[in-house]
Amino acid sequence: MEKKNVLSGIQPSGVITLGNYVGAVRNWSLLQQEDRFCYYCVANLHAITVRQDPTELKRRTRAMAAMLLACGVDPKRSALFIQSDVPEHSQLSWVLNCYTYMGELSRMTQFKDKSAKNEDNINAGLFTYPVLMAADILLYRSSFVPVGHDQKQHVEIARDIAIRFNNAFGETFVVPEPLIPNLGGRVMSLAEPTKKMSKSDPNPNAFIAFTDDQKTIMKKFKRAVTDSEGCIAYNPQTQPGVANLLSIFCIFTGKTMDEALAYFEGQGYGHLKTAVAEAVIETLTPLRLEYERYLADEVYMETILREGAKQARTLAQKTLSLVYDKVGIGI
């Protein structure tokens, strides 16, 4: 049986949040199985579509790789690398740009959101962001792309580009599929539960960061915005804050929603918040300690990332040369 490849990426635009973890990164580690090759990258080229401090970007890129190791990305079963260490990403992205339409890029909701937030810097990179992401995915012949719900549209455009290219030049790319968890595919902000939790949110109380200690996690959950209904029920439309806390509780305890509702019957929001915080603390604390250990071991990090990039490049070079050949680039 042919091995199926998996690829995913994360921007080093901050620290892994609870949303990143349950929406995507937890699945990255679960997908590492015998019958698959996994490629996981820190998408630093994507990060510069918004302004970054150069020293801080370098530090965050390295820290993000250490966080991914702590979350269970296993260098023996996956290639973990920094996107810019494999130049084929940018090279394929250029070719794919020529097979992507302005119209489809202007329909991307992330482009619309980010342009609204960065009115003074609506750059072309922000616009062609999904094309670079398509290159990330298609270079590795990935069948599966584990992501949160907000990246679904980007994986869909990667599919459209792959199909369009295959139709023009014959079978070249594997057409990828997004893998989005039913529960946890869209974790909401603790401060504004109608918005998704985001690592670049200026309000630190809106998200749980991977680096938060136990006291901070408890404090943030206790402050989480709920509602005035006073009843613990799962109604994402009318009680988004409570529904978010219940979902997080289920994910971290392995309980079903029915079991969770039975567990909290007759209880107040204070109890719900403490129980969710305790469940999250129990899982995240050992991961945070692992992260600190990886971060301190610069030599190990260096070796893993260099080896990961080397492994990734082997396949990336093959795919790019096939593409160049099909398009007629080279002599």
Report if residue 73 touches ligand TYM, rule: CB under 6 A: no
If we measure between CA atoms, which residue out of 287, 269, 293, 267 comes closest to residue 214?
Answer: 287
> By CB under 6 A, how many residues form the interface with ligand TYM?
24
DSSP 8-class letter at 13? S
> Is 76 an annotated catalytic residue?
no
Strand partners, 10: 42
Given candidates 67, 82, 161, 187, which one binds ligand TYM under the rule CB under 6 A? 187
Catalytic residue among 114, 152, 255, 326: 114
For the window 116-145, what string marks contact with ligand TYM as x by the rule CB under 6 A? -----------------x--xx-------x
Q: Specify whether 219 is catalytic.
A: no
In angstroms, what is the minimal distance from the CB of 328 to ligand TYM? 27
Q: Which is nearer to ligand TYM, 23 or 75 (CB)?
A: 23
Handedness of CA 200, 203, 206, 210 (dihedral sign): positive
Are the C-beta atoms of 13 and 50 separated by less than 8 Å? yes
Closer to ligand TYM by CB, 283 or 297: give it.
Answer: 283
Q: Given the complex with ligand TYM, which of 14 and 75 has the nearer CB atom?
A: 14
Q: Which residue is nearest to ligand TYM (CB)?
A: 23
Active site residue 114: yes
Pick the catalytic residue: 3, 76, 152, 199? 199
Q: Which of 5, 28, 44, 46 is close enough to bind ligand TYM by CB under 6 A?
A: 46
Residues 65 and 71: their CA atoms lie apart, in Å, by 10
DSSP secondary structure letters along 145-171: EE--GGGHHHHHHHHHHHHHHHHHHSS
Site string for ligand TYM, 3-42 (x = CB under 6 A): ----xxxxx-------xx--xx------------------
Query: Any idea how long the chain is?
Result: 331
SS3 assignment, position 255: coil
- 197 near ligand TYM, rule: CB under 6 A: yes
Tokens of 218: 């408890």
Contact track, ligand TYM, 78-117, x by CB under 6 A: ----------------------------------------
Among 150, 239, 264, 319, binds ligand TYM (CB under 6 A): 150
- What is the nearest approach in angstroms of ligand TYM to the Cβ of residue 116? 17
Strands 177-179 and 36-42: unpaired
Minimum Å distance from CB 287 to ligand TYM? 16
Give CA separation, 27 vs 18, 31, 41, 202, 306, in Å: 13, 6, 14, 27, 24
Q: Which residue from 6, 31, 42, 43 is in contact with ligand TYM, where contact means CB under 6 A? A: 43
For 10, residues 6+ apart whose C-beta sits below 8 A from its C-beta are 16, 20, 24, 25, 41, 42, 43, 64, 68
Q: Extract the tokens encoding 156.
A: 């869909």
114 touches 149 (CB < 8 A): no
The site for ligand TYM (CB under 6 A) is made up of 7-11, 19-20, 23-24, 43, 46, 133, 136-137, 145, 147-148, 150-151, 185-187, 196-197
Q: Catalogue the active-site residues.
A: 114, 196, 199
